[in-house]
Amino acid sequence: MADRYNLKNPAVKRILQEVKEMQSNPSDDFMSLPLEENIFEWQFAIKGPRDSEFDGGIYHGRIQLPSEYPFKPPSFMLLTPNGRFETQTKICLSISNHHPEHWQPSWSVQSALVALIAFMPTEPNGALGSLDYKKEERRALAIKSREAAPKFGTPDRQKIIDEIHEYMLSKAPPVPQSSDSPSQTEGNASAQTEGSALTVIEEQASTHGDEPMNQPTNNEQTQLIPTNYAGNNYTEEQQPFQELQARAYGSQQQQIRRVQRPADDRLFNMAAVGLALAIMVLLVKKFIKSSGHGALFMDGS
Protein backbone atom coordinates (compact mmCIF):
# COMPACT_ATOMS: atom_id res chain seq x y z
CA MET A 1 0.00 0.00 0.00
CA ALA A 2 2.79 2.44 0.91
CA ASP A 3 4.43 2.02 -2.51
CA ARG A 4 1.49 3.70 -4.24
CA TYR A 5 1.66 6.98 -2.37
CA ASN A 6 4.03 9.87 -1.77
CA LEU A 7 5.44 9.20 1.69
CA LYS A 8 6.61 12.81 1.94
CA ASN A 9 3.00 13.98 1.98
CA PRO A 10 2.07 14.72 5.64
CA ALA A 11 -1.46 13.34 5.26
CA VAL A 12 -0.27 10.10 3.62
CA LYS A 13 2.43 9.64 6.24
CA ARG A 14 -0.06 10.15 9.08
CA ILE A 15 -2.70 7.84 7.59
CA LEU A 16 -0.23 4.99 7.02
CA GLN A 17 0.96 5.44 10.59
CA GLU A 18 -2.60 5.10 11.90
CA VAL A 19 -3.20 2.00 9.76
CA LYS A 20 -0.10 0.40 11.26
CA GLU A 21 -1.24 1.18 14.79
CA MET A 22 -4.74 -0.20 14.27
CA GLN A 23 -3.36 -3.43 12.84
CA SER A 24 -0.88 -3.86 15.69
CA ASN A 25 -3.42 -2.96 18.41
CA PRO A 26 -6.86 -4.26 17.33
CA SER A 27 -9.91 -3.42 19.41
CA ASP A 28 -12.97 -5.50 20.25
CA ASP A 29 -15.17 -2.39 20.04
CA PHE A 30 -14.40 -1.28 16.49
CA MET A 31 -12.44 -2.01 13.34
CA SER A 32 -11.53 0.28 10.44
CA LEU A 33 -9.47 -0.11 7.27
CA PRO A 34 -8.72 2.16 4.29
CA LEU A 35 -9.33 1.17 0.70
CA GLU A 36 -6.31 -0.12 -1.20
CA GLU A 37 -6.88 2.29 -4.08
CA ASN A 38 -7.70 5.30 -1.87
CA ILE A 39 -6.32 5.50 1.68
CA PHE A 40 -8.36 8.65 2.32
CA GLU A 41 -11.54 6.53 2.36
CA TRP A 42 -12.01 4.15 5.29
CA GLN A 43 -14.64 1.53 6.00
CA PHE A 44 -15.42 0.88 9.64
CA ALA A 45 -17.71 -0.96 12.03
CA ILE A 46 -18.41 -0.20 15.67
CA LYS A 47 -20.00 -2.32 18.36
CA GLY A 48 -23.09 -0.88 20.02
CA PRO A 49 -22.41 0.64 23.46
CA ARG A 50 -23.04 -1.69 26.39
CA ASP A 51 -26.19 -1.43 28.53
CA SER A 52 -28.06 0.42 25.79
CA GLU A 53 -30.59 -0.53 23.14
CA PHE A 54 -27.64 -0.76 20.70
CA ASP A 55 -25.80 -3.38 22.77
CA GLY A 56 -24.73 -6.34 20.63
CA GLY A 57 -25.32 -4.53 17.34
CA ILE A 58 -22.69 -4.14 14.60
CA TYR A 59 -22.86 -0.80 12.80
CA HIS A 60 -20.91 -0.19 9.61
CA GLY A 61 -19.94 3.16 8.20
CA ARG A 62 -17.64 5.15 5.95
CA ILE A 63 -15.02 7.77 6.84
CA GLN A 64 -13.73 10.30 4.32
CA LEU A 65 -10.45 11.96 5.31
CA PRO A 66 -9.64 15.37 3.76
CA SER A 67 -6.39 15.97 1.90
CA GLU A 68 -5.37 18.30 4.75
CA TYR A 69 -5.75 15.56 7.39
CA PRO A 70 -4.99 15.62 10.32
CA PHE A 71 -5.34 19.41 10.33
CA LYS A 72 -8.95 19.20 9.14
CA PRO A 73 -11.59 16.77 10.45
CA PRO A 74 -13.06 13.75 8.63
CA SER A 75 -16.68 13.16 7.63
CA PHE A 76 -18.73 10.20 8.87
CA MET A 77 -21.54 8.22 7.27
CA LEU A 78 -23.42 5.23 8.70
CA LEU A 79 -24.36 2.36 6.38
CA THR A 80 -26.21 0.06 8.81
CA PRO A 81 -29.80 0.99 9.80
CA ASN A 82 -29.64 1.79 13.51
CA GLY A 83 -32.43 4.15 14.51
CA ARG A 84 -30.01 6.83 15.77
CA PHE A 85 -28.37 8.13 12.58
CA GLU A 86 -29.55 8.22 8.98
CA THR A 87 -27.77 5.89 6.57
CA GLN A 88 -25.64 7.12 3.65
CA THR A 89 -25.85 10.68 5.01
CA LYS A 90 -23.00 12.70 6.50
CA ILE A 91 -23.83 13.07 10.16
CA CYS A 92 -23.27 16.12 12.35
CA LEU A 93 -20.88 15.53 15.25
CA SER A 94 -18.46 17.77 17.13
CA ILE A 95 -15.64 15.53 15.80
CA SER A 96 -16.79 15.72 12.16
CA ASN A 97 -16.31 18.20 9.33
CA HIS A 98 -19.52 19.94 10.41
CA HIS A 99 -17.58 21.44 13.35
CA PRO A 100 -13.96 22.00 12.22
CA GLU A 101 -13.50 24.53 15.04
CA HIS A 102 -13.53 21.68 17.58
CA TRP A 103 -11.09 19.38 15.80
CA GLN A 104 -7.51 18.93 17.02
CA PRO A 105 -4.68 17.40 14.93
CA SER A 106 -3.75 15.11 17.84
CA TRP A 107 -7.04 13.23 17.40
CA SER A 108 -7.19 10.21 15.09
CA VAL A 109 -9.58 7.82 13.37
CA GLN A 110 -9.33 5.56 16.40
CA SER A 111 -10.27 8.23 18.95
CA ALA A 112 -13.05 9.48 16.66
CA LEU A 113 -14.61 5.99 16.50
CA VAL A 114 -14.54 5.73 20.29
CA ALA A 115 -16.31 9.08 20.47
CA LEU A 116 -18.88 7.92 17.88
CA ILE A 117 -19.74 4.97 20.14
CA ALA A 118 -20.28 7.43 22.99
CA PHE A 119 -22.68 9.48 20.83
CA MET A 120 -24.93 6.51 20.02
CA PRO A 121 -27.14 6.53 23.17
CA THR A 122 -27.45 10.35 23.34
CA GLU A 123 -30.58 12.31 22.40
CA PRO A 124 -30.61 13.57 18.77
CA ASN A 125 -32.51 16.84 19.35
CA GLY A 126 -32.98 17.36 15.62
CA ALA A 127 -29.28 17.39 14.70
CA LEU A 128 -28.38 16.90 11.04
CA GLY A 129 -28.45 13.22 10.06
CA SER A 130 -30.04 12.08 13.34
CA LEU A 131 -33.04 9.84 13.99
CA ASP A 132 -35.13 9.27 17.10
CA TYR A 133 -36.50 5.73 16.94
CA LYS A 134 -38.06 4.02 19.94
CA LYS A 135 -35.82 1.77 22.04
CA GLU A 136 -37.70 -1.34 20.91
CA GLU A 137 -37.15 -0.44 17.26
CA ARG A 138 -33.46 0.22 17.84
CA ARG A 139 -33.05 -3.10 19.64
CA ALA A 140 -34.72 -4.90 16.71
CA LEU A 141 -32.30 -3.16 14.33
CA ALA A 142 -29.37 -4.17 16.56
CA ILE A 143 -30.40 -7.82 16.21
CA LYS A 144 -30.85 -7.48 12.45
CA SER A 145 -27.46 -5.75 12.05
CA ARG A 146 -25.69 -9.00 12.92
CA GLU A 147 -27.30 -11.01 10.10
CA ALA A 148 -25.24 -9.60 7.23
CA ALA A 149 -22.99 -6.70 6.30
CA PRO A 150 -24.60 -3.83 4.37
CA LYS A 151 -24.13 -3.62 0.60
CA PHE A 152 -22.23 -0.55 -0.48
CA GLY A 153 -20.06 0.54 -3.39
CA THR A 154 -17.61 -1.39 -5.51
CA PRO A 155 -16.57 -5.04 -5.05
CA ASP A 156 -13.33 -3.88 -3.39
CA ARG A 157 -15.31 -1.85 -0.86
CA GLN A 158 -17.70 -4.73 -0.27
CA LYS A 159 -14.82 -7.12 0.33
CA ILE A 160 -13.46 -4.91 3.11
CA ILE A 161 -16.94 -4.45 4.60
CA ASP A 162 -17.49 -8.22 4.70
CA GLU A 163 -14.09 -8.81 6.31
CA ILE A 164 -14.77 -6.21 8.97
CA HIS A 165 -18.21 -7.69 9.65
CA GLU A 166 -16.80 -11.17 10.23
CA TYR A 167 -14.23 -9.78 12.64
CA MET A 168 -16.79 -7.75 14.60
CA LEU A 169 -19.24 -10.64 14.69
CA SER A 170 -16.57 -12.77 16.39
CA LYS A 171 -16.13 -10.08 19.07
CA ALA A 172 -19.68 -8.86 19.63
CA PRO A 173 -21.80 -10.55 22.33
CA PRO A 174 -25.43 -11.52 21.64
CA VAL A 175 -27.99 -8.75 21.89
CA PRO A 176 -29.14 -8.85 25.56
CA GLN A 177 -32.72 -8.68 26.76
CA SER A 178 -32.44 -5.62 29.00
CA SER A 179 -34.52 -5.45 32.18
CA ASP A 180 -33.10 -2.12 33.36
CA SER A 181 -35.19 1.02 33.53
CA PRO A 182 -34.55 3.64 30.82
CA SER A 183 -32.72 5.93 33.25
CA GLN A 184 -30.46 3.15 34.51
CA THR A 185 -29.71 2.05 30.95
CA GLU A 186 -28.76 5.52 29.78
CA GLY A 187 -26.64 6.16 32.89
CA ASN A 188 -24.65 2.94 32.57
CA ALA A 189 -24.04 3.43 28.85
CA SER A 190 -22.88 7.00 29.34
CA ALA A 191 -20.43 6.12 32.12
CA GLN A 192 -18.84 3.20 30.26
CA THR A 193 -18.57 4.75 26.79
CA GLU A 194 -17.30 8.12 28.01
CA GLY A 195 -14.71 6.41 30.21
CA SER A 196 -13.34 4.35 27.32
CA ALA A 197 -13.37 7.38 25.01
CA LEU A 198 -11.37 9.47 27.46
CA THR A 199 -8.81 6.70 27.94
CA VAL A 200 -8.13 6.29 24.22
CA ILE A 201 -8.01 10.03 23.56
CA GLU A 202 -5.44 10.52 26.34
CA GLU A 203 -3.34 7.64 25.03
CA GLN A 204 -3.50 8.97 21.47
CA ALA A 205 -2.41 12.45 22.60
CA SER A 206 0.61 11.11 24.53
CA THR A 207 2.11 8.74 21.93
CA HIS A 208 1.57 7.84 18.30
CA GLY A 209 3.92 5.20 16.89
CA ASP A 210 7.38 6.04 15.63
CA GLU A 211 6.49 9.69 15.08
CA PRO A 212 4.42 11.56 17.70
CA MET A 213 1.22 13.30 16.73
CA ASN A 214 1.08 17.06 16.57
CA GLN A 215 0.50 17.77 20.23
CA PRO A 216 -1.90 20.60 21.14
CA THR A 217 -0.25 23.57 22.84
CA ASN A 218 -1.50 24.96 26.15
CA ASN A 219 -3.70 27.38 24.22
CA GLU A 220 -5.15 24.54 22.12
CA GLN A 221 -5.88 22.53 25.27
CA THR A 222 -7.73 25.52 26.68
CA GLN A 223 -9.74 25.84 23.45
CA LEU A 224 -11.02 22.28 23.89
CA ILE A 225 -13.39 23.86 26.42
CA PRO A 226 -14.92 26.99 24.89
CA THR A 227 -15.38 29.97 27.20
CA ASN A 228 -19.16 29.66 27.03
CA TYR A 229 -19.17 25.99 28.14
CA ALA A 230 -22.14 25.37 30.41
CA GLY A 231 -23.28 21.87 29.50
CA ASN A 232 -26.53 22.86 27.77
CA ASN A 233 -24.95 25.38 25.40
CA TYR A 234 -24.19 22.56 22.96
CA THR A 235 -26.37 20.29 20.94
CA GLU A 236 -26.66 16.72 22.15
CA GLU A 237 -24.35 15.69 19.30
CA GLN A 238 -21.56 17.90 20.70
CA GLN A 239 -22.16 17.64 24.43
CA PRO A 240 -20.71 14.17 25.27
CA PHE A 241 -17.35 14.92 23.65
CA GLN A 242 -17.26 18.38 25.25
CA GLU A 243 -17.91 16.78 28.64
CA LEU A 244 -14.95 14.43 28.10
CA GLN A 245 -12.79 17.42 27.26
CA ALA A 246 -14.04 19.34 30.31
CA ARG A 247 -13.27 16.44 32.63
CA ALA A 248 -9.76 16.00 31.25
CA TYR A 249 -9.02 19.74 31.37
CA GLY A 250 -10.54 20.16 34.85
CA SER A 251 -8.46 17.30 36.21
CA GLN A 252 -5.33 18.83 34.70
CA GLN A 253 -6.05 22.20 36.32
CA GLN A 254 -6.61 20.58 39.73
CA GLN A 255 -3.23 18.85 39.48
CA ILE A 256 -1.56 22.15 38.56
CA ARG A 257 -3.15 23.88 41.56
CA ARG A 258 -2.06 21.06 43.89
CA VAL A 259 1.54 21.39 42.67
CA GLN A 260 1.62 25.18 42.89
CA ARG A 261 0.15 25.50 46.40
CA PRO A 262 3.24 24.33 48.40
CA ALA A 263 5.48 26.69 46.43
CA ASP A 264 3.11 29.60 47.08
CA ASP A 265 3.13 28.83 50.84
CA ARG A 266 6.93 28.86 50.94
CA LEU A 267 7.07 32.22 49.17
CA PHE A 268 4.54 33.65 51.61
CA ASN A 269 6.53 32.44 54.63
CA MET A 270 9.79 33.87 53.25
CA ALA A 271 8.12 37.23 52.62
CA ALA A 272 6.75 37.30 56.20
CA VAL A 273 10.19 36.56 57.69
CA GLY A 274 11.81 39.26 55.55
CA LEU A 275 9.22 41.81 56.62
CA ALA A 276 9.74 40.96 60.30
CA LEU A 277 13.52 41.38 59.96
CA ALA A 278 13.07 44.75 58.26
CA ILE A 279 10.80 45.97 61.08
CA MET A 280 13.32 44.85 63.71
CA VAL A 281 16.18 46.73 61.97
CA LEU A 282 14.09 49.92 61.84
CA LEU A 283 13.23 49.63 65.54
CA VAL A 284 16.89 49.15 66.51
CA LYS A 285 17.94 52.19 64.46
CA LYS A 286 15.20 54.28 66.05
CA PHE A 287 16.29 53.18 69.53
CA ILE A 288 19.95 54.01 68.88
CA LYS A 289 19.06 57.41 67.47
CA SER A 290 16.75 58.33 70.36
CA SER A 291 19.28 57.25 73.08
CA GLY A 292 22.19 59.24 71.64
CA HIS A 293 24.37 56.23 71.03
CA GLY A 294 24.32 56.93 67.36
CA ALA A 295 26.21 60.25 67.80
CA LEU A 296 28.73 58.55 70.09
CA PHE A 297 29.47 55.98 67.45
CA MET A 298 29.89 58.74 64.87
CA ASP A 299 32.42 60.65 67.05
CA GLY A 300 34.38 57.50 67.75
CA SER A 301 34.85 56.79 64.11
Q: Output helix, strand, coil percentages for the chain, rounded to the nearest 5.
A: 50, 10, 40
Rounded Cα–Cα distance for residues 248 and 202 (Å): 9
Cβ atoms of 68 and 76 within 8 Å: the answer is no
| The one catalytic residue among 92, 93, 114, 142 | 92
Q: Give dist(CA 21, CA 50) in Å, integer.
A: 25
Q: Is the peptide bond before 212 cis (omega within 30 degrees of 0)?
A: no
CB 45 within 8 A of CB 69: no
92 is catalytic: yes
User: How far apart are alpha carbons 9 and 6 in whole angstroms?
Assistant: 6
Sign of CA dihedral 184, 189, 192, 194: negative
Q: Nearest 5°: phi and psi at 202?
A: -65, -40
C-alpha distances in Å from residue 25, one per residue of 33, 184, 186: 13, 32, 29
Annotated catalytic sites, by residue? 92
